[in-house]
Amino acid sequence: MKRILFIIVLLTVGLLFYSVAVHAEEAVKIIHTKGSVKIQRSLDDFWILAKKGMLLKENDKIKTFIASEVEIAIDSTLKNIVKLDQNTEISIENIKTKRLSLPDGKIFALIESLPFNSSFEVRTPTAVAGVAGSGMSVGTDGKTTTVSCFEDRAYVRGINVDATTMTQIVIIDKGYKRIIGKFETPSNLLMLTMLDREGWREFRENLRDHLDWLRGKRAEGSRGAAIALEEMQRVQERTEDKWFGDKENIYEERELQRRDDWDSPVPASSGPNYD
């Protein structure tokens, strides 16, 4: 009975960890903040202070203020990271399709591991930019959008007057950028400036440090879980030893009782008295 109870507890704990993992995969996680950063939940009309470790769901918003920044992981792999530069606001449009809305500001995106035949996209008031596995930045003031590619290739499409996305997909090669105005097709390729490249290099270096710290914390959590499981197993073993020991004691007591009963003399019957 106790063995069955232990198995039930173990399965319950396993299901709990599984549900937490699934929940994490369906949420965007804040992995770094600097300065003043706030979030607004989809059902709220007020902003709250953003903190490392917070999870964002669809239609939640996050924004940075002057001299501030935030980095978010758009899934649990820690290989798809977006950084919001200062004075930037985004909305989480769709987590599964990795789609963000950027009404104003600038982001850097390093996308290294996406499911097959999928992409990461950012929609601004004038363009839709994306990558399938690359590094880019997207900046907009609401009137124009600049999409820069730092690794591999990116793409961009303009937006029509009726707010639909233009069908033409324009490629941006590594080391170049394009500018898109309202209701316009993307411009010709422009070379990235030294300032552009420096911004990407700084993002990459800082991100490496932040991810090393986060992976260290994950490793600590994994070790803690392993220790907890070992302790549960030890408790189970002690419980089983005690249970079997109690059973053996009971059997011994019963055996001794049977022997005592067997060895005890049977009182002689006096039989009927005819006198």
> Higher confidence at residue 269 or residue 58?
58
Rg (CA), the chain: 33
- In the block, residue with structure tokens 């069908």: 167
- Coil, helix or strand for 207? helix
Q: Which residue has the higher pLDDT, 229 or 179?
A: 179
Tokens 């930037």 correspond to 88
Between 6 and 73, whose confidence is greater?
Answer: 73
For the chain, domain boundaries: 29-218
Residue 22 CA to residue 53 CA, distance in Å, equals 16
C-alpha 2, offset from chain centre = 36
Residues 6+ apart with CB under 8 A from 258: none
90 with 98: CB under 8 angstroms? Answer: no
Q: What is the pLDDT of residues 182-213, one digit of tens each?
A: 999 999 999 999 999 999 999 999 998 888 87
| Average model confidence (pLDDT) across the chain | 83
Question: CATH 3.60.150.10: does it fit domain 29-218?
Answer: no
Instruction: Give the model confidence (pLDDT) of 23-51 as tens digits.
Output: 445 689 999 999 999 999 999 999 999 99
Which one, of 237, 232, 130, 117, lies nearest residue 180 by Cα? Answer: 130
- pLDDT attached to residue 234: 64
Quote the pLDDT of residue 16. Answer: 45
The predicted pLDDT at position 205 comes to 93
Q: Higher pLDDT residue, 24 or 109?
A: 109
Q: How far apart are CA 68 and CA 33, in angstroms?
A: 8
Closest by CA position to 152, among listed 188, 120, 184: 120
Which of the four pLDDT bands, split at 50, 70 and 90, describes residue 216? confident
In terms of C-beta density within 10 A (0-12 exposed, 13-18 middle, 19 or more buried), how is residue 76 classed?
Answer: middle
130-144 average pLDDT score: 94
